[in-house]
Structure 1
Amino acid sequence: MTARLRAAVARRFGVDTRALAALRVSLAALVLVDLCLRARFLTAFYTDAGLLPRSLLFEQYGTISRLSIHAVSGAAWVQAVLFLVTALAALAMLAGYRTTLATVVTGVLLASLHYRNPLVLNSGDTLLRMLFLWGVFLPLGERWSVDALRDGETDSRRVASVATAGVLVQVVVVYSTNALLKLRGERWLAGDAIRYVLELDMFTVLLGDVLADFPALLVAFDRLWLAMLVASVLLLVLTGCLRAAFAGLFVAMHAGMLASMQLGLFPLVSIAALLPFLPGAVWDRIPGWQHVPGLRSLPASRYARRVEGALPLVALPAMPSTVVRWTRRVVPVVLVVLLAGMLVWNAASVGVVDATAAGPVTESPEPRWSMFAPVPASTDYWVVAPGQLASGGSVDAFHGEAVSWDEPPDVAGSYPSARWRKYVANLRGADPAVAGGFADYLCTRWNGGHDVEVTSVAVFVVEQQVRLDGPNPTERVELAAKNCSSQ
């Protein structure tokens, strides 16, 4: 009986080593893409000349922000160097070169980057950090990696551990938490939640504009998605082809989000998180490195020697046998505690357990995985930043155009990126000093790049209530006003 139970648990909480390799490649690639996207606004988001100088960061976010390596300096060149180091670590992780070390360095620098400016983060960033946390304890470099070529690729096809259980449960917790929150919202139960989301022009792109014209189809998607979230625990219960099919359905839904809504990297991070659920039958259809054209006739040992000669050997100090032995005993215990803490925290965030009885949690934490729940947003908004020119005219200091309060032809396109939209969303409920930082930045940016200076800047959001059966009223909300000449 015990053997059968162990086998059943291993089938559900074990992960194919090729799936872990695919997870490694996906996470590293996502970090590289994310760095490229963030680098476009490096000065605005991560320097003292930007939206959130370190003085304001420390004032608003306290101790946690001081742990950020990126907060050591407010200079743009320091941030550029840190971006480069993170990219190099991610490239090493992508190739599977000193995989564990590369994963640790990439994960630490990624978390540091996130804590440097929490105002531009979304649920995808949180999930990405959690995947890195579990990834440190997973054999991500056992297949399809430089490490595997050097050490000899293992025949192991499956690994089951507390860490594999953790990464699988983490994904189900995200979906289950979101399901509980959605079930508390009338619109999700009524079937019109996705219709409201796609009526928000600040989110809707590409396919979303087409789908918005088919309300009956959106109701079907609403019901299907809610049912999938409620049944997401089946990702752990099912095995084999049924698990692969169910995970594939989630992948398809996230791909639909990517094609219809401006959500940054969230859909791609979610797809990467689903890779460990794919069983060996899926990966058996994917050829190994030895089948890649040009490498087919190159023996693994010979290729490994070439790799070893071409890349520097990062030699780590050998730990004493006693330390190794205790590490093997302690790490699983730590991971069990981490897994239990994660479950309690998320249960407390949705009120399933009393937060006061949740150990270190002293008050009800905010749900991490709300994602359009319990009620999807029903307000579009765009930024208008009228600036008074020294010459006597006016200009929108954010867009560099004439001031207009009308709805932009493309609200989503009026934001430079999804992170800018997230920043503006967070401004609406933030301390006035944070919005003041936005106005200061607009003053500095305009006056540093134009011959005619602005003497003052005000920051407004124009809020537009979305109604399915009537006109959408608008309201101007002033967030900040600054005298640029006093800077």
Structure 2
Amino acid sequence: MTERGPMRAALARRLAVDRRALAAFRIALALVVLADLARRVPDARAFYTDGGVLPRSLLAALYPGYATASLHALSGALPFQLGLFALAAVAALALLVGYRTRLAAVVSLVLLVSLQLRNPLVLNSGDVLLRRLLFWGCLLPLGSRWAVDSGTRDSEPTDSVVGLATAGLLAQVVAVYATNAAVKLRADVWLRGDAVRYAFQLDHFTVGLGNAVAGWTPALRLAAWGWLALLVLSPLLVGLSGRARAALVGAFAAVHAGMLATMQLGVFPLVSLVALVPLLPGRVWDRVEARTAIPWRLPRRPRTPLTARVPPLERGARGLAACCLAALLVVNAVGLGLVGAPAGTPDQVTERSWDMFAPSPPLSTWWLVAPATLSSGERVDAITGEPFDASRPPEVAAVHGSAGWRKFFADAKWEPRLRESLARFLCARWNRSHDTGMRTVELWHVTERTDLDGPETVERDRLGSYRCGQT
């Protein structure tokens, strides 16, 4: 055997994904899609209708082309949006149980991208990663195990899958960590071990246990160095195998679980946990099957995949996977500045999607204040609906309500049209549910600059004053 043969075999083993890992990935992915839909339903009117903060006319003005590319932009009515939410939930449930799996994955991806295009102002890197994981899932046999579509184990020739699609999925996971590591290494704050201390001083992010551990200086310094070391070692998620890989995956999973318990980051921690599932080796799934009484193999005749019945589709899928894998590598190289972007490349392509708290965390906590005057002369906070109080809120993250609202408020600071739309929405929301009408609303951006060794300074920036009915 030539030297090239063993090297290719070793590479194939590291790029292979256990079919049971793909099944668990499918189930976890579907659950996150359902959770994402559930968290957006309460804000469906605010974020996705013409009566909300981003009507379709403003979407078209700020993001030309998005309105024509999004199914959710076909109507500005709330019932239409809720109908699409229900359709997305049905597709996610089909993906969950593995019924017509590839079709369910494609429909879920189309509806997710459509929803994200309808309001890009409420997204973070977790939303970006979610749609990319769904894309790679569309190219993989997610329904070959633990699914309505699957049959007995003997119906598949091998227990693992390897190819361009598995390489793309694993490369996507490693790219998130490796590019984040490359950016963080450029900042002294991470090398000094102060970055996590700064992050836990950001009251507009910290929730739950995050408020309790914010003062644990030695532990947070160790956490910064430990997380940076894990990020640097992230290529070993593919380079290692067996128990060593499982241990490294477990370390990353523990960090993301910690993020979930301490910070308000939307779906990012959950999506990151899902992304790690395909990296778990076969011995993990052997133990899962051995220690549970769940009938993992369903007694059904497996469906013949559409790509097997239509060979050109299989070739097309391989070509698409190859192109997207190449694009993934190039885009991340451009984002890191390793190669130059071609002239005319849109900013959305060259920007980094994985630079959370990199090269350094923000150095200030901020929140939006919206004092409003009612027709009775009473002053209320138009965001919370409570009597207006100019003092610092005890929980800034609670004022924002969600990661989506925090992201929108941050964007509104820089765009006057968003501020006008926000003021109009706040007036309409209050007047729709109260007898005493709202006459005017002001918007203020308050910044509390972090000083780890001294008092924090507060600055207030008046963004504008708006008269209800005339914004």
2:87 maps to 1:85? yes
Task: Specify every segment of 5 or more residues in structure 2 that has no aligned partner in the other structure, as ranges.
Answer: none
**Alpha carbon RMSD of aligned pairs, Å?**
2.3
Matched residue type, 1:444: A
Matched residue type, 1:338: C
Q: Is residue 436–residue 481 contact of structure 1 (8 Å, CA) maintained in 2?
A: no
SS in 2 for 1:285: helix
Picking from 124, 132, 137, the partner of 2:126 is 124
Matched residue type, 1:414: V
Picking from 322, 337, 340, the partner of 1:336 is 322
Q: Is residue 98–residue 149 contact of structure 2 (8 Å, CA) maintained in 1?
A: yes
SS in 2 for 1:460: strand
Q: Is residue 379–residue 466 contact of structure 1 (8 Å, CA) maintained in 2?
A: yes
Counterpart position of 2:386: 401
Q: Please give the TM-score of this superposition, normalised by the length of structure 1.
A: 0.91
Distance 1:83 1:407, change over 3 A: same
Counterpart position of 2:106: 104
Picking from 307, 329, 333, the partner of 1:347 is 333
Q: Is residue 384–residue 404 contact of structure 1 (8 Å, CA) maintained in 2?
A: no
Picking from 144, 148, 157, the partner of 1:146 is 148
Counterpart position of 1:410: 395
Between 1:391-400 and 1:67-76, the stretch displaced more is 391-400
Between 1:19-28 and 1:378-387, the stretch displaced more is 378-387
Q: Is residue 144–residue 288 contact of structure 1 (8 Å, CA) maintained in 2?
A: no
Counterpart position of 2:429: 445
Count of residues paired in the alignment:
468
Deviation readout 1:12-48 (Å, 9 max, x if unpaired): 1110001100110011000111111110111111111
Counterpart position of 1:361: 345
TM-superposed CA distance for 1:144, in Å, is 0.4
Structure 2 CA distance for aligned equivalents of residues 373 and 395 of structure 1: 37
Between 1:445-454 and 1:385-394, the stretch displaced more is 385-394
Task: Specify every segment of 5 or more residues in structure 1 that has no aligned partner in the other structure, as ranges.
Answer: none
Counterpart position of 2:313: 327
Deviation readout 1:229-265 (Å, 9 max, x if unpaired): 1121111111111111111110111111111111121
Distance 1:219 1:155, change over 3 A: same
Picking from 474, 478, 486, the partner of 2:458 is 474
Deviation readout 1:331-389 (Å, 9 max, x if unpaired): 322211111111111111121111127xx736671111110111201111122111121
Matched residue type, 1:28: A
Q: Is residue 68–residue 115 contact of structure 1 (8 Å, CA) maintained in 2?
A: yes
Counterpart position of 2:279: 277
Q: Is residue 456–residue 481 contact of structure 1 (8 Å, CA) maintained in 2?
A: yes
Picking from 350, 375, 389, the partner of 2:374 is 389
Structure 1 CA distance for aligned equivalents of residues 424 and 332 of structure 2: 37
Structure 2 CA distance for aligned equivalents of residues 421 and 478 of structure 1: 18
Structure 1 CA distance for aligned equivalents of residues 247 and 42 of structure 2: 38
Q: Is residue 150–residue 298 contact of structure 2 (8 Å, CA) maintained in 1?
A: no
Distance 1:263 1:477, change over 3 A: same
Deviation readout 1:163-193 (Å, 9 max, x if unpaired): 0000000011111111111112221121100
TM-superposed CA distance for 1:151, in Å, is 10
TM-superposed CA distance for 1:327, in Å, is 2.9
Structure 1 CA distance for aligned equivalents of residues 95 and 316 of structure 2: 25
Matched residue type, 2:16: G
Matched residue type, 2:232: V
Matched residue type, 1:395: V
SS in 2 for 1:468: coil
Structure 2 CA distance for aligned equivalents of residues 111 and 180 of structure 1: 28
Counterparts in 2 of 1:211-230, with a 5 A limit? 211-230=213-232
Between 1:57-66 and 1:324-333, the stretch displaced more is 324-333
Counterparts in 2 of 1:18-37, with a 5 A limit? 18-37=20-39
Picking from 333, 352, 355, the partner of 1:370 is 355
Q: Is residue 307–residue 313 contact of structure 2 (8 Å, CA) maintained in 1?
A: no
Segments ≥4 residues shifted beyond 6 Å: 318-321
TM-superposed CA distance for 1:5, in Å, is 2.3
2:243 maps to 1:241? yes
TM-superposed CA distance for 1:273, in Å, is 0.2
Structure 1 CA distance for aligned equivalents of residues 419 and 431 of structure 2: 19
SS in 2 for 1:287: helix
Structure 1 CA distance for aligned equivalents of residues 291 and 196 of structure 2: 42
Deviation readout 1:90-141 (Å, 9 max, x if unpaired): 0000000000000000111011111111111010000001001111000100
Q: Is residue 307–residue 314 contact of structure 2 (8 Å, CA) maintained in 1?
A: no
Structure 2 CA distance for aligned equivalents of residues 281 and 132 of structure 1: 25
Q: Is residue 125–residue 354 contact of structure 2 (8 Å, CA) maintained in 1?
A: yes
SS in 2 for 1:381: strand
Distance 1:319 1:174, change over 3 A: closer
Counterpart position of 2:468: 484
2:199 maps to 1:200? no
Counterpart position of 1:462: 446
Counterpart position of 1:427: 412
Structure 2 CA distance for aligned equivalents of residues 209 and 474 of structure 1: 20
Structure 2 CA distance for aligned equivalents of residues 172 and 199 of structure 1: 28
TM-superposed CA distance for 1:153, in Å, is 5.1
Q: Is residue 59–residue 66 contact of structure 2 (8 Å, CA) maintained in 1?
A: no
Q: Is residue 439–residue 480 contact of structure 1 (8 Å, CA) maintained in 2?
A: no
TM-superposed CA distance for 1:222, in Å, is 0.2
